[in-house]
Structures are given as structure tokens and as C-alpha cells.
Amino acid sequence: MTRLRVVTAGPCTTVQDLGRFGHLRLGVPAAGMLDPWLGRLANRLAGNDDAAPLLEWTWHGDELEVLDGPVRLAITGDAPVWVDGRPRPSHRALTLAPGQRLRIGQAESGLRGYVAVAGGLEVPRVLGSAATHLRSGLGGWQGRKLAAGDVLPVAAGGRLDLPELQGIFPRDTGPLRVLPGPRHDLFEPSAWSLLLAADWRVGLEADRMALRLEGPALRHRGTADLVSEGAVPGVLQVPGDGRPTVLLADGQPTGGFATLATVITADLGRLAQLRPGQGVRFQAVTPAEALQARRLERERWNALRLLPVPDPEPAWLLARDLIGSTDLQGD
Amino acid sequence: MALQFRPVGDAALLVEVEGPPGITPEVNAVVLQLDAALLRAGLAGVRETVPAYRTVLVLFDPEATDVARLSREIQALPLHAVDLAPARRWHLPVAYGGAQGPDLLEVARQTGLTPAEVVALHTAHDYRVYLLGFSPGFAYLGVLPPELRPPRRTTPRPRVPAGSVAIAGAQTGIYPTELPGGWHLLGRTPARLLDWQREPPILLQPGDLVRFQSVPLEELAALERTGWEPRPEVAP
């Protein structure tokens, strides 16, 4: 069986799929790929179903060694990639032989990227999903982030006979789009206009559950606390100190803070790519515009064409014993 | 009972049951009826529902339905036709104080009670399971008697052990796994709230009743050693 050995682990790499749905009522968040289009792209480049279990890295990728290969891998995310020390582009699928090493450096833009492997990673499904929920230690690879020395089995059935492919998924730019509510009536009227007018900055407290925004305080009319109610990724919760937090896919399914606004579903991937310290603005849209944005994302996905790389590096050049040295490494 | 509808972004709708403010079993019972009716109705585009104290969150596919249509359909659901399963009552042993309940003395100080009085009050009532949330299998129970309602700890703990029985405000709860937490820890129960190898994995369901019983530390240890599983009785 083909396996991947983690030589060095990034700060937060987890096994994810499209998420664990239908169990919010038990307190189980969906988790799953935080930037699903980018994760799906990695799976598609690797010749997989969109939902195949893959690795999501955060801020900095991992170094992986192929055991018992060969294996076809695809990397997405804006970060430098090396195979046995030789630079390779991201957003590519390539085939590695046993003993070869893939290394992914620090993100140059965005915060997260993916490594898909043909056939998908072989991990147990919990409640029907391979997604890792870190806080409860659920699913994925032993319910935790990867650590050096882990050896991940690759599921059988991956295709190795596909050409070297590349593909880019076009993204929206500009402010994150929001709809008001569900509890905007608990705020001073100025809070909504302040949310839309202010320059926000992502705080250092940012993980798979939520990110904190730094900016002006958003004032409530009265209390900030509610009895707990259901919440979804994208809700902008404002506790009593007026500092908003936006929930992501690992966020708790219920919360007790007043929610001023909700990021539209089409922008959740972009939201999860914000880096600590990065500036961000918000723009109000109508429900019809939110629906249109969602349709546009799917049309882009349906229109996505993976292209053979025009001049792929010959496979023999990548063979480990011919390259030998790894002195080109460094970042 | 009247319902209020609040869109949550473009793919969810919060349905609020109107009634007296705060946490009441009457409003929560309507929430559970509404949730059961929603599950049974299988409305087009509805993906998942999340019942809570006073609300049901409805997640939907915005390309299959919309807020106006969903609100109409939910308003028309026949709640009186829903038979909920009879409530179950659980008797859960708890070793109070000591290393199992490191906040017992502080709670006693804050509430002006003795530690024995805190334990007596905490074990004197059936608590209703209002919802599961926060983390897999975490049950929010309530409500605490008015004399026993300390605010949350100002500094949450990064790690609270599984089985810890805790209180905050009018709520009490049990940590199903090791989690960060800002509630006051009164004791520990050997009951396993969450076990993915068990069917069903999650012990408590909304609408259940829980009665805590004070047991000595040796009994807690013995129950933990033998892998004891609580059995519910049907509440009258």
C-alpha cells in the first residue's frame, strides 16, 4: 500500500473532505475544507472525486516522503513547492516515485492550501466523513493535526496514467459581501454602517473555528448575550466588548452572542484565506445578489478546464537517484 | 404559538418561537415540536435543522427554495400533530469537590452558601436537556435555582476534563470530552456523554431530564473502572 510519511509538519495540517453534514443538532460542526473550491481543485487535478479526503495546510505546508509509491499528487494554494529540492509550480498534479520528497513552503498569499493524492487518503469515516474537527478530536487523522513521523495510508484505486495537469480557479476580489442579521436589531443603528465603512484587520486569534476582527467597537443597544441559538459559518458575532468574531467551518453550531451580519456563502472560501494582520472590508448585498454570486461560483467551477502542462519536466529528471542532492532547498 | 423568521446569510433561516423571555421549558417544548415537524415534513431544499432554547435554525439550499417560501411552509406546519418521544430521566452520579470539582469552594464563596449547600441545591432538581451545542455531545441543562447562578469564570480554562459537571448563570452542563471551558467545575460524573464506538454515540437528547446524585470519590473511581453505563427511565 502506498503511504506518505510526514518528514516535517506544517503548523496546522489536517485531513479534510467536504464536511460532516447532518449532525449540527448533536453539537457536531461540519468542519471540512475551509476553502472548498481550492480543495476540490486539488482533488480534481489528482483525478479524484471532489469529496476525497486530502490534506489542508495552514500558513506553511509539510514535507512528505512517498513510501511504496508511485503516487500522483496535486497541490493547490499559493506557496512554493519542491520535489527533492527542485522547485515545482503549485496548482499542478505530478507523479512521485517511492522515496521522493514533496515539500511545500510558506504561503505567499492566502493562508491555506491543499495536497490531494490520487485515490484519496485512507482514514476512518466518523459520522460519514473524514473531516478533522480539532477541538473535539474528531475524525481525520487521529482527530488531530499532522506531526512529524506520521505515516498516512493512501487509498487504493488512484489513477497514475493521467498527464501532468494544471488548473486555476478564478476568485472574486474586493470586499467580503454580507447580509444583515440575524440579530442586527440588537445593535445601535450606527453599527451596521460602521461595519461597512471601517477598515478591518484580521487579528492574531485566527484558527479553523473563527477569526477575530480588529477595528472600531460595534455597539449593542442593550445586552450582547442571548440564550444560545444555532449559528452557521460566516456569522459575525459581537460579544459585549464590541469586537466581532467571524465563525468558520469548525465553529460551534450554537452560540450566545448577538450576530450583526453574515458573510454570504459564496465568500466563505475567501474569508478563510484571510491572513492574520491582513486588511478586510465588508460590502452589503441583497439576497438576490448573494444567490447570483453563488451561481457564478458554480458556473466557474463547471467551466473549469484542466490543461495538460505544455512542457512538463521529463519524468527521468525527477527521479531521485539522478537528482540526488537536495541543495536547492531553502525558503 | 407565533413564530418570527430571521434570515441568517443566504442559506439559513432562524425560526424563533415567541413567548416569555429567557429559558423556559414551555418555549423549548414548542421548539422540539417544530423541529420534529420539520424533520417529518421534508420540505424542499431543507438540509438540516438545529433546535436550541427558543429557536430552530433551518439550513437550506438557496437554489432549491427561498426565505419567503420556507417561512410560509414552516408557518403552516401542524405542530399539534407531532408526538414527541416520552422524556427519559437519567440519574447521573457525581463526585463533588476536590480535584474533580475545583471550583466548588469558589462557587460557595460567590453565592454565600456552604459547599454542602451548593451540592444539595445542585442535586435537588431535575434538569431539562434544552439543547446540544458548543461541542459534540455537550448538553445544556437548566435551569439552576436562583440562589445558585454564578456568572462565567472571568478566565476560561484551556482544558476541562471529560465528565466535568459545571455551572454558569442559570445553566448546568457536562463536558463530554476534554475542552476549553469557562464554566465553574463542581464535580465529575463517570457517565460517558460521548462515545463514538457506542450506538447512539451521544447519551443525552433534548427534552431528556437529568438528576445528579452525590457519590463518594471511591464510587466514581469504581464506576469508571468498570465502564459503567447509565440507563434511563421513562419520566412520568
pTM as predicted: 0.91
Nearest residue in A to B24, CA atom: A227
At CA B150, angle to CA A257 and CA A213, rounded to 5? 25
Residues of A in contact with B177 (CB under 8 A): 136-137
Which residues fall within 8 angstroms of residue A292, CB to CB, at 6 or more apart? none
Residues of A in contact with B134 (CB under 8 A): 27, 228, 252, 254
A77 within 8 A of A90, measured Cβ to Cβ = yes
Predicted pLDDT of residue B85: 76
Averaged over A250-259, what is the pLDDT?
91
Q: Is residue A305 very low, low, confident or very high in pLDDT (cuts 50, 70, 90)?
A: confident
Predicted pLDDT of residue A312: 59
Question: Measured between CB atoms, which of A28, A136, A230 is closest to B57?
Answer: A230
Question: Measured between CB atoms, which of A28, A137, A265 is closest to B9?
Answer: A265
Averaged over A48-60, what is the pLDDT?
97
Q: In residues, how long is chain B? A: 236
In sequence order, the β-bridge partners of residue B49 are B58
Residues of B in contact with A23 (CB under 8 A): 136
Alpha-carbon span B184 to B195, nearest angstrom: 24
Alpha-carbon span A260 to A271, nearest angstrom: 17
* Placement of cell 464563596 in the chain: B109
- Reduced to 3 states (helix: H, G, I; strand: E, B; else coil), residue A68 is coil
Strand A92-96 to A71-76 pairing: antiparallel
Alpha-carbon span B1 to B30, nearest angstrom: 8
What does residue A54 show for φ and ψ, rounded to 5 degrees? -140, 180
Predicted pLDDT of residue A311: 62
Residues of A in contact with B4 (CB under 8 A): none
Nearest residue in A to B31, CA atom: A229
Alpha-carbon span B8 to A180, nearest angstrom: 8
Residues of B in contact with A138 (CB under 8 A): 136, 196
Predicted pLDDT of residue A329: 33
Q: What is the DSSP string of B65-134?
A: --HHHHHHHHHT--GGG--PPPPEEEEEEEEESTTT-TTHHHHHHHHT--HHHHHHHHTSSEEEEEEE-S
User: Does B132 contact A at CB distance below 8 Å?
Assistant: yes
Question: Measured between CB atoms, which of A21, A138, A182 is closest to B48?
Answer: A21
Query: Exposed, middle or buried by CB within 10 Å (0-12, 13-18, 19+), for B154?
Result: exposed
Q: Is the peptide bond before A70 cis (omega within 30 degrees of 0)?
A: yes
Averaged over A184-189, what is the pLDDT?
95
Predicted pLDDT of residue B97: 97
Selected for mutation to probe chain A from B8, B14, B141, B157 (highest A CB count within 10 Å) is B8
Instruction: Return the closest-CA partner of residue A167 out of A6, A288, A47.
Output: A47
Q: Is the peptide bond before A126 cis (omega within 30 degrees of 0)?
A: no
In tens, the pLDDT along B10-46 reads 999 999 999 988 899 999 999 999 999 999 999 999 9
Q: Is the peptide bond before A182 cis (omega within 30 degrees of 0)?
A: yes
In tens, the pLDDT along A269-296 reads 999 999 999 999 999 999 999 999 999 9
Predicted pLDDT of residue B236: 65
Alpha-carbon span A27 to B133, nearest angstrom: 4
Q: In this structure, what C-alpha cell is assigned to residue A264?
A: 454570504
At CA A291, angle to CA A286 and CA A295, rounded to 5? 145
Is the confidence at residue A122, as pLDDT, over 50?
A: yes
User: Does B52 contact A at CB distance below 8 Å?
Assistant: yes
Of A37 and A330, the structure prediction assigns the larger pLDDT to A37
In sequence order, the β-bridge partners of residue B50 are B57
A21 within 8 A of B48, measured Cβ to Cβ = yes
Tell which B residues from 150 to 209 touch A, by Cβ distance under 8 Å. Answer: 177-180, 196, 202
Question: Measured between CB atoms, which of A228, A230, A287 is closest to B10?
Answer: A287
User: Does B25 contact A at CB distance below 8 Å?
Assistant: no
The verdict on a CB contact (< 8 Å) between A179 and B180 is: no
The verdict on a CB contact (< 8 Å) between B62 and A294 is: yes
In tens, the pLDDT along B175-218 reads 999 998 889 999 999 999 999 888 888 999 999 999 999 999 99
A170 within 8 A of A270, measured Cβ to Cβ = no
Predicted pLDDT of residue A162: 77
